[in-house]
Amino acid sequence: MIELLVVLTVATVLLTIGIPSFRSVIANQRASSSINEVLASFRLARSEAIKSARSVTVCKSADGATCNDAVEWEDGWIVFVNTTPGTPATVDAGDQIIRVNSRLPAKLTLTATGDMDAFLSYRPTGSAGTTVQNLRGTLTLCDPDKIADKRALNITASGSTNVSYDTAYDGVTALACP
């Protein structure tokens, strides 16, 4: 009987320590996978713009067919070759959708800062922007439960991308979460 109590006590201690750590590992893996999906879409858009010598746009889209400024980035996005440079955030007849991304895993938020609230276009040179101005910005991926580290996709006017990480949810750091 004493041996059984000792085994149960040890098991309880191990589970008490292990389960929160395991939750953190799962949350960070989910966040990492999600930001890599976002990164892949923007890198695809840039390479396709250079390869096809046409503008390629990444925009928010919940239905996978049209750009929609009223939805959030975490609701989904599309990448399309824009044959009508005057309407960079509109999928026109003749525009080819080359990638559709659906909603991110539950609870994760993807918030834009800078000049890319609804869309970002890549020029045939690979630079980010429209025919009027250079655009740059950041998409910050946050876990409202504050278990996973914050991640941000940073996009420069030249079109290059990188991912940064932040473990603090103090409201003071550079990567702000809602």
Domain made up of 28-166: CATH architecture: 3-Layer(bab) Sandwich (3.55)
Show me where the domains of the chain are located: 28-166
More confident residue, 7 or 124: 124
Is the pLDDT score of 154 beyond 90? Answer: no
Cα dist. 53→58, 67, 108, 126 in Å? 16, 22, 34, 9
pLDDT value at 66 more than 90: yes
Residue 161 has pLDDT above 80, yes or no: yes
Average pLDDT, integer, range 143-157: 84
Given strand 137-142, what is the order of strands in its sheet?
Answer: 109-114, 137-142, 150-155, 161-166
Which of 66 and 145 is assigned the larger pLDDT? 66
| Full-model pTM | 0.82
In angstroms, rounded to a whole number, what is the distance separating the alpha carbons of residues 159 and 164? 16
- pLDDT at residue 172 greater than cutoff 60: no
